[in-house]
């Protein structure tokens, strides 16, 4: 199984486990890697709710931050409900594909631009998985309505606007994109 298909499948399974009537307004993808090493990436798939945003609003004067900033996300949005990529099947599939693309390197190798290319490839996988959740109607089927998938990398905060924009229909991210500095 291709790594992309694996991530899409697990992300769909995770969304399928979300509580349907919990007031979920966003699916979250926290893009990360073990020890910030792009050879070992994962995505934590989760969600945040209207109740979470209301609680966060009590802690900040900035309504956008309270609703959309990962700094205010609850555990289900920050840590996710489940992680994909570091599971045995995902890790093996990722390494096999990274090797076939000429992107893998060992600790004693000079990674040259392979680090950045691995990060970009994993971003593409995550954007593709989010799009798949929309295109397959998985989100609507579980939650009863479309909601955006917010993609963020805590080590590259500037990437979240581009990733989220690429992953969602424009009408779902209008409010989120209002703070895009670009």
pLDDT tens by residue, 97-152: 999 999 999 999 888 999 999 999 999 999 999 999 999 999 999 999 999 999 99
pLDDT-derived band at 165, boundaries 50, 70, 90:
very high
Cβ pair 118, 41 in contact under 8 A: yes
Do residues 166 and 149 lie in contact, with contact meaning Cβ atoms separated by under 8 Å? Answer: no
Query: How far apart are the C-alpha atoms of 58 and 61, rounded to whole Å?
Result: 8
Cα-atom radius of gyration of the chain, to the nearest Å?
A: 16
Read off the pLDDT of each residue in 59-84 and give the average, rounded to a whole number. 93
Q: What does residue 86 show for φ and ψ, rounded to 5 degrees?
A: -100, -5
- In whole angstroms, give the CA distance from residue 117 to residue 38: 9
Q: At 90, is the pLDDT very low, low, confident or very high (cuts 50, 70, 90)?
A: very high
pLDDT tens digit sequence for 18-35: 998 889 999 999 999 999
State the Cα–Cα distance between residues 143 and 161, nearest whole angstrom.
24
pLDDT digit string, tens, across residues 33-57:
999 999 999 999 999 999 999 999 9
- pLDDT score recorded for residue 154: 86
The pLDDT of residue 106: 93
Provide the pLDDT for residue 182. Answer: 73
Q: Which candidate, 119, 126, 41, places its Cα nearest to that of 86?
A: 41
Strands (E), the chain: 24-33, 41-49, 82-84, 149-153
pLDDT of res. 21: 82
pLDDT band at 91 (very low <50, low <70, confident <90, very high): very high
What is the pLDDT, as a whole number, of residue 181?
Answer: 76
In this prediction, residues 77-84 reach a mean pLDDT of 93
Sheet containing 82-84: order of strands: 82-84, 41-49, 24-33, 149-153
């Amino acid at each position: 199984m291709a790594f992309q298909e694996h991530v899409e499948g697990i992300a769909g399974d995770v969304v399928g486990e979300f509580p349907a009537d919990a007031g979920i307004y966003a699916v979250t993808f926290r893009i990360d890697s073990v020890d910030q090493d792009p050879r070992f990436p994962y995505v934590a798939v989760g969600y945040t709710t209207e109740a979470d945003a209301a609680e966060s609003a009590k802690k900040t004067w900035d309504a956008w931050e309270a609703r959309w900033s990962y700094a205010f996300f609850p555990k289900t949005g920050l840590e996710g409900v489940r992680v994909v990529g570091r599971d045995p099947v995902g890790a093996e599939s990722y390494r096999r594909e990274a090797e076939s693309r000429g992107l893998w390197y060992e600790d004693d190798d000079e990674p040259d631009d392979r680090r950045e290319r691995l990060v970009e490839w994993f971003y593409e996988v995550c954007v593709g998985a989010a799009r798949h959740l929309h295109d397959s109607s998985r989100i609507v089927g579980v939650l009863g309505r479309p909601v955006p998938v917010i993609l963020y990398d805590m080590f590259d905060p500037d990437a979240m606007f581009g990733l989220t924009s690429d992953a969602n229909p424009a009408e779902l991210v209008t409010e989120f994109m209002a703070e895009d500095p670009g």
